[in-house]
């Protein structure tokens, strides 16, 4: 019963009933020599003279079934047309309604039934295929967890996912979906984050790591403290963002919408004029059907829905159709060095002692004393090394003064400590650098960031810190070039020697070093003045001005940042650099499909119009071809749902195989007793 009710209100009920009535009409008319085709009434329609056909001069049983087929299929069309008119919008349904009603009034019941039946079939197919183009969003919604297991009063309790409270401990067992965003407080496990980041391989999670709602445990057991619940999870933000993006109109779509507002009334005027001049009512009605801009209207939205949905499944969030179109034009990509081309986790590599009265522990001790309490990325490796060498600072320095572009000046243990570059020494009147400039240049030429350490008037030594180049950085740049990007530019606040060493290793085209945040903005603006459409990739606050200035701002590793998901034009959820060329490639494919669809729609209309005036194209054939063009447009857009070669996301079976081949655990849960769990 439920299945019948579902079918009754489904897309195919009306076309099926209408089609059956058409078959019955043909059966009554053709079978048994037409003996069943009895007369049920006199002629009530307008005599169209030579243009009327098939109805005779009496209303037969076959005519009644054909008329019923037209009414069944056409009722909904007329209702939609009237509703659109009430809001002063001339829709495609109005053209079809006028054509069908006109055909009925002149007794062409077969044409009326054929047009409405085919239009109804087209709608059903369109709805079905459009649902598939939105499958990516549906899959995102489907990964949203329904239940959660939490610890309450020392007991494991299964509750609805939306009932989890902030700060509550959630248990994530093998095979279960993570119900909240949170931080691991105990346990280890492998988490499949493909639904969020598009990454193929499960990620090992241990204490202090972050996990996201909608990801799936592939092994192990985790206790997670909820930090994001309900609508305040990364998955919820992604779904919301994709919904908005798929409905956001591209510039081309806005043009097509304006075009359709003039095109549809123009078709009605053309049909009226053709009918009055030729005296052929059928010609006028046929023109109404032929001129339907259905394929044109749907050509762009369906491509945008498919393109944005596909990218979202691969962990690439694109803000909307307008940004998709702009991304397809990107000719220059500006990237930050630290955290984008490099891991963003520098390590201390060299300690060059320049003062004969000091040793390496002395150099690192004073450097650590000055950097104590600093949150700067370069301070961490110094403090870590000092701790390992047993000279970790006790307490904080008296005062710390950052000198923009040069380093810092700190007051530690009653002495002035400088950490920075040669200009910093010069600013504070240290004339004898003890060879620090030469040592710093050697380190910089090797791609390391040098930091000169001076206490009072004496230079103690130079510390070298290096960041690891990401493995996928050279491949990203190669793919950007292969995808049509003319120039990849590095914008960094680091010294030129360091920047050149990194740039040469990864294949950067142009390097701008020693930049302040406002300098990065100027560099992006200069690229734009040169005629480039610029994408700026960054992950730090100091990149914000350049990100805002660029035609497309790209945020890396946005999975844990609500601000990045909401504000970036393109948000790459994972840290995989190859998602950037993939995003640009997908944007270009989507725009190509949009253009193809527009040409398909326009050529179809022109060919049909020529066919009508040349003869041979009837109202039914016109509607059939018209609906066919709509389907071709949709199917063309659905090609975007497939991953191309080089895509960063794999299918479920491929992910499972990859997990197996890499030895990642897909094993039974390692359950813990309640006594081992936090109360």
Residues taking part in catalysis = 336
The CA-atom distances, in angstroms, between 42 and each of 39, 61, 64, 554 are: 8, 12, 12, 72
Task: Tokens 């304006």: give the residue.
Answer: 258
SS3 for 288-324 is HHHCCCHHHHHHHHHHHHHHHHHHHHCCEEECCHHHH
Give the single-character DSSP code of 338. I
Total length of the chain: 679
Q: How is residue 382 written in tokens?
A: 């110094």
Is the CB of residue 217 less than 8 Å from the CB of residue 203? no
In this structure, what DSSP letter does residue 557 have? S
Element spanning 118, H or E? helix 109-133
Measuring CA to CA, how many Å separate 626 from each of 89, 125, 615, 634? 21, 13, 17, 13
Q: Write down the residue that tokens 């509703």 correspond to.
A: 83
How far, in Å, CA of 618 to CA of 608, rounded? Answer: 10
Reported as type and span, the H/E element at residue 148 is strand 147-152
140, 195 Cβ separation under 8 angstroms: yes
Give the pair of three-digit tokens for residue 573: 């959820």
Count CB-CB contacts under 10 A for residue 72: 23
Closest CA to 95 of 113, 116, 111: 116
How do 487-491 and 510-512 pair as beta strands?
parallel
If phi > 0 it is left, if psi is from -120 to 50 it is alpha, else beta; for residue 538 that is: beta
Enter the DSSP assignment of 468: P
- Three-state SS for 422-437 is HHHHHHCCCCCCCCHH
Contact in structure between 413 and 367 (CB atoms under 8 Å) = no
Among residues 259, 179, 305, 284, which one has the least CA distance to residue 594? 305
The dihedrals phi and psi of 120, each to the nearest 5 degrees, come to: -65, -40
534-538/510-512 β-pairing: unpaired
End-to-end Cα separation, the chain, in angstroms: 49
Beta-carbon contacts of 305 under 8 Å, excluding residues fewer than 6 positions away, are 130, 133, 134, 246, 637
Neighbour count for residue 634 (Cβ, 10 Å):
23
Count of other CB atoms within 10 angstroms of residue 471: 9
**Residues 482-520: b if buried by 16+ CB within 10 A, e if exposed:** ebebebbbbbbbbbebbbbbbbeebebbebbbebeeebb
Contact residues for 313 (Cβ-Cβ < 8 A; gap 6+): 136, 139, 140, 198, 649
């Amino acid at each position: 019963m439920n299945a019948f009710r579902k079918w009754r209100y489904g897309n195919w009920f009306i076309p099926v009933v209408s089609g059956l009535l058409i078959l019955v009409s043909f059966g009554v008319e053709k079978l048994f020599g037409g003996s069943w085709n009895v007369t049920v009434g006199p002629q009530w329609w307008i005599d169209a003279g030579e243009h009327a056909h098939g109805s005779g001069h009496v209303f037969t049983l076959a005519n009644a079934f054909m008329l019923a087929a037209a009414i069944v299929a056409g009722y909904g069309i007329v209702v939609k047309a009237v509703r659109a008119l009430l809001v002063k919008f001339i829709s495609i349904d109005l053209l079809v309604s006028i054509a069908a009603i006109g055909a009925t009034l002149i007794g062409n019941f077969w044409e009326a039934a054929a047009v409405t039946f085919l239009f109804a079939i087209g709608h059903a197919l369109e709805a079905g295929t459009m649902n598939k183009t939105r499958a990516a969003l549906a899959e995102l919604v489907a990964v949203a967890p329904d239940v959660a297991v939490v610890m309450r009063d020392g007991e494991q309790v299964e509750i609805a996912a939306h009932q989890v409270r902030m700060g509550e401990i959630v248990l994530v067992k093998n095979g279960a979906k993570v119900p909240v965003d949170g931080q691991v407080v105990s346990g280890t496990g492998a988490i499949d984050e493909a639904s969020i980041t598009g990454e193929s391989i499960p990620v090992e999670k241990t204490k202090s790591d972050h996990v996201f709602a909608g990801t799936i445990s592939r092994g192990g057991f985790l206790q997670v403290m909820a930090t994001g619940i309900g609508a305040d999870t990364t998955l919820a933000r992604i779904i919301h963002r994709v919904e908005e993006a798929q409905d956001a109109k591209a510039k081309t779509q806005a043009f097509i919408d304006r075009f359709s507002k003039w095109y549809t009334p123009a078709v009605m005027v053309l049909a009226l004029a053709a009918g009055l001049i030729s005296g052929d009512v059928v010609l006028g009605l046929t023109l109404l059907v032929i001129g339907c801009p259905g394929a044109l209207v749907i050509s762009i939205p369906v491509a945008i829905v498919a393109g944005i949905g596909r990218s979202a499944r691969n962990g690439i969030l694109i803000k909307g159709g307008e940004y998709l179109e702009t991304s397809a034009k990107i000719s220059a990509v500006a990237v930050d060095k630290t955290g984008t081309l490099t891991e963003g986790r520098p390590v201390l590599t060299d300690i060059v002692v320049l003062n004969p009265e000091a040793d390496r522990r002395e150099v690192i001790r004073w450097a650590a004393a000055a950097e104590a309490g600093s949150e700067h990325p370069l301070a961490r490796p110094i403090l870590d090394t000092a701790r390992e060498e047993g000279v970790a600072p006790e307490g904080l320095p008296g005062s710390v003064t950052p000198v923009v572009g040069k380093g810092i000046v700190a007051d530690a243990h009653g002495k002035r400590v400088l950490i920075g570059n040669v200009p910093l020494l010069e600013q504070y009147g240290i004339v004898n650098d003890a060879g620090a400039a030469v040592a710093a240049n050697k380190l910089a030429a090797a791609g390391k960031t040098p930091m000169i350490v001076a206490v009072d008037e004496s230079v103690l030594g130079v510390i070298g810190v290096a960041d690891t180049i990401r493995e996928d950085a050279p491949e990203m740049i190669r793919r950007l070039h292969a995808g049509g990007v003319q120039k990849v530019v590095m914008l960094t606040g680091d010294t030129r020697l360091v920047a050149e060493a990194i740039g040469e290793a990864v294949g950067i085209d142009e390097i701008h070093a020693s930049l302040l945040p406002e300098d990065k903005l100027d560099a992006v603006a200069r690229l734009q003045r040169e005629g480039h459409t610029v994408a700026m990739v960054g992950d730090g606050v100091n990149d914000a001005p350049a990100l805002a200035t660029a035609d497309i701002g790209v945020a890396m590793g946005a999975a844990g940042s609500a601000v990045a998901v909401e504000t970036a034009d393109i948000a790459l959820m994972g840290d995989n650099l190859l998602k950037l060329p993939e995003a640009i490639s997908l944007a270009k494919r989507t725009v190509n499909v949009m253009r193809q669809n527009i040409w398909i729609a326009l050529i179809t209309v022109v060919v049909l119009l020529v066919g009508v005036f040349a003869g041979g194209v009837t109202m039914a054939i016109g509607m059939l071809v018209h609906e066919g063009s709509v389907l071709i447009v949709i199917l063309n857009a659905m090609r975007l749902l497939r991953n191309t070669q080089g895509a960063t996301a794999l299918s479920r079976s491929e992910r499972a195989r990859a997990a197996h081949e890499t030895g990642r655990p897909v094993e039974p849960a390692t359950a813990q007793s309640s006594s081992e769990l936090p109360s």
